[in-house]
A and B are shown apart, each in its own frame.
Chain A
C-alpha cells in the first residue's frame, strides 16, 4: 500500500474515532484511570521547572506521555485508535484469500461498541492487552518460523508493557513456563538465550524506571506509591503480601497471554467458536457487566481472527454474534438504567490521590 494511502487511512480512522470518542465522553462517565492521567498531565504541563523530572515520576508512563502529548482524552483516544486500526488493517490484508471479508470483519470489530467504549474508557488496558498478546504471538511465530524478527519484537513488546502496567511483571513466570515447555529439547543453549532475549527489555526498562525514580526521589519504587492505579497501591508493601493476593494479580494479568498458546491445541471450528464467544462476551460486557472485562475479551478475540477462517460456518456464526452482540450492547448503553456508571468520581477525590509534593522539583 502506498504511504500516502496509509496516511489517508489513518486520518479517516482518526476522524471517526475522534467523533465517536467525543460523543461517548459526553454520555459516559470518565473512568478513574483516564481522569487521573489527564489530571496529572495537566498539572505537570503547567509546571515551568522540573517538568521533565516530574514526567518521569508519573506512572503508567506510556499512557501518561500520551496524555501529556494530547491533554484532551478525545485526541488521545482517537490517535490510539487510528494507529491500532491502521496497523490491523495493514496486517489483515496480507494473509487471507478473501481480503474483502477480512477487512469487513476487522472493521466490524474496530467500529463495534465494545472497541469504541474501551478506546475511550480504558485506553491503558487496551495498550497493555495488545502488547501482551503481541508478545505471545511473536513467541508463537518464532516457534513456527524461527524468524529472528519475531524474537526481536517479542522482547520489545513485553518490555514496553512495563510502561503501561506493572502487572506485566506478573506475566514473566508464565512466559518462563511457556518457553521451557515449548523450547525444551531444542538446540543446546537456545532456551537460555531465548529467556535472556525475552526478559532483557522487561528488566532493562524496569531498571530505567527504578533508576529515574531513585535519582529524583531517593526511592526506586516511589512511582508505584504515588499512582493509585498500580499493583503497589492494591497490594500494599511489596514485602508483606498475603499469598492469595499474589495469585489473583498473576492470573488477571497472565491469561491474555496464555490464551494464544491454548488455542494451538484447537482446530479451526473450535477456534472459530472461541473467537465468536469472546466477541460476544466483549460486546455484552461493554453494555453490561464491566468495561475492563470487555476490553480483555475484545483483545482476546482479535488474534483468533488471524488467519481468518472464511468457511460458511464461521461467517454464519460471526454474523449472528455480531448482530446479537451489537444489538445487545447498544440496547444496554442507551437504556435508562445504564450500568455504565463505574462509580462517581469527583475531581476532589482524584485530586487528593495525587501528592502534589511529588511532582515539584
Chain B
C-alpha cells in the first residue's frame, strides 16, 4: 500500500500513493505532510495512517492503490466472487491464517492461484502461499481488510461460532463449565449428602455440630487467608510500576498492533457515546489499534448506535450470530478469531480506561518473558459518590484491586482476572482456548486456568473506571452472577486437584479453595452464622453453650467478631492508595453491604442448579452526575 509495491507482471507505479490521493481530492496537502511525518516516526504504512485518522474511507484508499499498482480492486464485486470461490481451496487454510495475513483464497486452476488480499506486499503471505503452492503463479486482487473479514465470516461463520462456543468443551472438557458437576463430583456430593442425612437421622445434634464445625473451620481459614493476603497487598511491592518517563521513552515505531474487543449488548446510546470517546482518547497510534465492536445478532439498535458514533474507519463491527449460551465470553471468543494484534484487551461498555493503559501494558509485557500470559489493570468507579451503594461498592473494589490482587501477585499466587482491562498476549490466549462461554465469570476462570497451565498473571499500575451499580436489585443480579461464576470456577478447577498442586503448588490449591470457593461459600455461610447469633442474642437460650463444645464456640465467636472487624478495617484501609478519604467512615456500614452479598450468594447457589449458564445482564447508564477520577 505504498509506492514501493512490486507486482511480477506490471511496471513500477508512476506516482506515490499520497500524491494520487491529493490529486483525487481525497486528502489535502497538509494532511499528506502530516501523514508522511507520522510515517517517518512510526514506519507504518501510509494508507493505514490516513485511514485510521478518518481522512479517507478504506474503499477509496484501496481503489486508489489499485490504480497505483494496476491491481484489480475486487471489493465491489464480492457477491460475484463468492460464486466463483473454490471451497476445497478455502478449506486448505484456517480462518486464523486468513485473518492473520488478511487474505482469502478464491480459486486455483492449472498453475495459478487467485486470492484477494488487503496487503499484497506482505512477504509472510507470499511465503505461506509458496509453501502451499510451490511453483504456482499467484494472482492477487485488492480488497479492504473489512471485506476479508466479511468473506471469512461468510464462509466460516458456523466453524468460528462452533469453535467459540464448544471449542474448549471438546478439546479440554475437564476445563469447561459446560458440565456443572462431573460424575465424580456428583457421586462425591451425593455420598456426602447421604452421610449427613444418615447422621441427622441418627442424631440431629451431631449433624448440626458437624455442619456448624465445618462451616466455622472453613470460615476461619478463609479469614486468615485473606488477612495474610491483605497484609502482603498492603506492602510496597504492588505489581508492575510503570513510570511516565518509561512511557515517554517508548518508540512509536516499535509499538505492536493492539486488539481491543468491545462486547456490547443492549447498551444505551449514552453509554456507547462515552465508550467511543474513551477509546478515542487512548494514547496509542490509531493505525496500530485493532478495535472490534462485538454485537449480538438480535441487537440491531446497539449496532445502529455504534455506527451513528462514526468511529474511525479502522474500527470493525462484528455481528455475533445467534446461539446459546448467549454470553459475553462466547462473543469474545468469536471476536478472538478475528483479532490481529500481538496483544489483546477487553473493555466493557461503560469503561473509561486511563489513556496510557495500553502503553503501560506493552512495557509490562516487555519486562517479562512470554511466561506472563496476562496483565490485569485495576478497576474502580467514576460514580462513587452517587449514593451509599456506589460508595460501598467503590470501597470494595478499591480493596479488591489495590490490596487483594497485589497480595496474590506478591505471594506468587494465581490471580482471578477482573471482567475487563485484562491485557493478553493474543497467541497465548488462543493457546489457552480463549474464554469459557459456559462460565459466567469467564475472566476469573481464565486467570485460574492460565495459572494452572503454568502461566503467570501480573498486575500493573493503571486503572479503568467503570460505572458502579447504583440500584440494589441490579446490584444483587450482578453479584449473584459473579458468585455463581466463582462457584463454577471452583468446581471446574477442583476436578483435578493433583494437577493444580503440581502446577501451582499447595499455595495455588489454597487460593482455589479460599479465594475462589471461599468468596461465595463464605458469604452464603455468613447469613447462617449471623442467623444463629441473632437467635441466641434475642432468645438468650443456653442451648448453644450447653451443646456446642467450647473450642467450636470459641472459633465461632472469633469468626463473628474478628471476621467482621477485619472486613471493616480493611475496607477503611482501601481508601489510602487512591486517597478517597471521604469514604473511610462508610466502611462501618459494610455489614449491611455484606447482607446483600449473602442474599446474592444464595441466589447464586440456587441458579447454579437451576440455570447455570444464565447471564444476568447488568443495566448500565444508571449513573447521574459528574465523573470523579
Partner of B575 from the list A53, A149, A193 (CB cut-off 8 Å) is A193
Q: Does B568 contact A (CB under 8 A)?
A: yes
Question: Shortest distance in angstroms between A314's beta carbon and chain B's nearest beta carbon?
Answer: 29
Interface pair A192/B584, CB less than 8 Å apart = yes
Question: Shortest distance in angstroms between A165's beta carbon and chain B's nearest beta carbon?
Answer: 20
Chain B residue with Cβ nearest A189: B581
Question: Shortest distance in angstroms between B510's beta carbon and chain A's nearest beta carbon?
Answer: 16
Q: Does B254 contact A (CB under 8 A)?
A: no
How many A residues, CB 8 Å from partner? 30
Chain B residue with Cβ nearest A187: B579
Instruction: Pick from A18-26, A44-52, A254-262, A276-284 the stretch touching chain B.
Output: A44-52
Interface residues of A in 140-177 (CB under 8 A from B): 145, 147-149, 151-153, 155-156
Interface pair A197/B550, CB less than 8 Å apart = no
Complex CA–CA separation, A147 to B581 (angstroms): 16
Q: Does B577 contact A (CB under 8 A)?
A: yes
Which residues of chain B have C-beta atoms less than 8 A from A208's C-beta? 561
Q: Does B307 contact A (CB under 8 A)?
A: no
Q: Does B346 contact A (CB under 8 A)?
A: no
User: What per-residue 1/0 map shows which CB atoms of B198-236 lie under 8 Å from chain A?
Assistant: 000000000000000000000000000000001100111
Chain B residue with Cβ nearest A211: B561
Interface pair B572/A147, CB less than 8 Å apart = no
Interface pair A197/B581, CB less than 8 Å apart = no
Which residues of chain A have C-beta atoms less than 8 A from B577's C-beta? 148
Interface residues of B in 554-590 (CB under 8 A from A): 554, 557, 561, 565, 568-570, 572-573, 575-577, 579, 581-582, 584-585
Complex CA–CA separation, A155 to B572 (angstroms): 11
Q: How large is the interface on B (under 10, 10 to 19, 20 to 34, 35 or more residues)?
A: 20 to 34
Which residues of chain B have C-beta atoms less than 8 A from A49's C-beta? 545-546
Partner of B235 from the list A147, A156, A192, A196 (CB cut-off 8 Å) is A147
Interface pair A152/B573, CB less than 8 Å apart = yes
Known: A50-B545, A148-B573, A151-B573. A196 touches B234 (CB 8 A): no
Q: Does A104 contact B (CB under 8 A)?
A: no
Interface pair A152/B553, CB less than 8 Å apart = no
Interface pair A197/B236, CB less than 8 Å apart = no
Interface pair A152/B230, CB less than 8 Å apart = yes
Q: Does A2 contact B (CB under 8 A)?
A: no
Which residues of chain A have C-beta atoms less than 8 A from B550's C-beta? 51-52, 55
Known: A147-B235, A148-B576, A200-B572. A361 touches B545 (CB 8 A): yes
Q: Does A204 contact B (CB under 8 A)?
A: yes
Complex CA–CA separation, A190 to B537 (angstroms): 37
Complex CA–CA separation, A55 to B236 (angstroms): 39
Chain B residue with Cβ nearest A208: B561
Interface pair B569/A200, CB less than 8 Å apart = yes
Partner of A148 from the list B234, B557, B568, B582 (CB cut-off 8 Å) is B234
Which residues of chain A have C-beta atoms less than 8 A from B561's C-beta? 208
Question: Shortest distance in angstroms between B516's beta carbon and chain A's nearest beta carbon?
Answer: 24
Question: Shortest distance in angstroms between A149's beta carbon and chain B's nearest beta carbon?
Answer: 4
Among A149, A208, A215, chain B packs the most CB atoms within 10 A around the CB of: A149
Interface pair A201/B231, CB less than 8 Å apart = no
Which residues of chain B have C-beta atoms less than 8 A from A267's C-beta? none
Known: A52-B554, A148-B234. A189 touches B572 (CB 8 A): no
Which residues of chain A have C-beta atoms less than 8 A from B568's C-beta? 200, 204
Chain B residue with Cβ nearest A212: B557
Interface residues of A in 2-55 (CB under 8 A from B): 49-53, 55
User: What per-residue 1/0 map shows which CB atoms of A195-234 lie under 8 Å from chain B?
Assistant: 0110011001100100000010000000000000000000
Which residues of chain B have C-beta atoms less than 8 A from A245's C-beta? none
Partner of B231 from the list A52, A149, A190, A193 (CB cut-off 8 Å) is A149
Complex CA–CA separation, A201 to B564 (angstroms): 11
Which residues of chain B have C-beta atoms less than 8 A from A190's C-beta? 579, 581
Complex CA–CA separation, A193 to B230 (angstroms): 18
Question: Shortest distance in angstroms between B234's beta carbon and chain A's nearest beta carbon?
Answer: 4
Question: Shortest distance in angstroms between A44's beta carbon and chain B's nearest beta carbon?
Answer: 11
Which residues of chain A have C-beta atoms less than 8 A from B546's C-beta? 49
Q: Does A312 contact B (CB under 8 A)?
A: no
Which residues of chain A have C-beta atoms less than 8 A from B584's C-beta? 189, 192-193, 196-197
Partner of A52 from the list B230, B235, B553, B569 (CB cut-off 8 Å) is B553
Question: Shortest distance in angstroms between A220's beta carbon and chain B's nearest beta carbon?
Answer: 15
Interface pair A147/B234, CB less than 8 Å apart = yes
Known: A187-B579, A190-B581. A152 touches B234 (CB 8 A): yes
Chain B residue with Cβ nearest A196: B584
Complex CA–CA separation, A187 to B578 (angstroms): 12
Interface pair B582/A189, CB less than 8 Å apart = yes
Among B230, B570, B573, chain A packs the most CB atoms within 10 A around the CB of: B573
Which residues of chain B have C-beta atoms less than 8 A from A205's C-beta? 565
Interface pair B581/A149, CB less than 8 Å apart = no
Complex CA–CA separation, A98 to B431 (angstroms): 50
Complex CA–CA separation, A11 to B561 (angstroms): 32
Chain A residue with Cβ nearest B403: A148
Complex CA–CA separation, A204 to B427 (angstroms): 51
Which residues of chain B have C-beta atoms less than 8 A from A151's C-beta? 234, 573, 576
Question: Shortest distance in angstroms between A48's beta carbon and chain B's nearest beta carbon?
Answer: 10
Complex CA–CA separation, A51 to B548 (angstroms): 12
Complex CA–CA separation, A52 to B557 (angstroms): 10
Complex CA–CA separation, A196 to B568 (angstroms): 11
Question: Shortest distance in angstroms between A295's beta carbon and chain B's nearest beta carbon?
Answer: 28
Complex CA–CA separation, A52 to B548 (angstroms): 10
Chain B residue with Cβ nearest A56: B557
Query: Which A residues lie at the B interface, using CB under 8 A?
Result: 49-53, 55, 145, 147-149, 151-153, 155-156, 187-190, 192-193, 196-197, 200-201, 204-205, 208, 215, 361
What are 14 A-B pairs with beta-carbon distances under 8 A? A55-B550, A147-B234, A148-B577, A156-B569, A187-B581, A189-B584, A190-B579, A190-B581, A192-B584, A193-B575, A196-B584, A196-B585, A197-B572, A200-B568
3 A-B pairs closest in CB distance? A189-B581, A149-B234, A193-B584
Contacts A52-B554, A151-B573, A205-B565 aside, 5 further interface pairs with beta carbons under 8 A come to: A148-B234, A148-B576, A152-B234, A200-B568, A204-B568
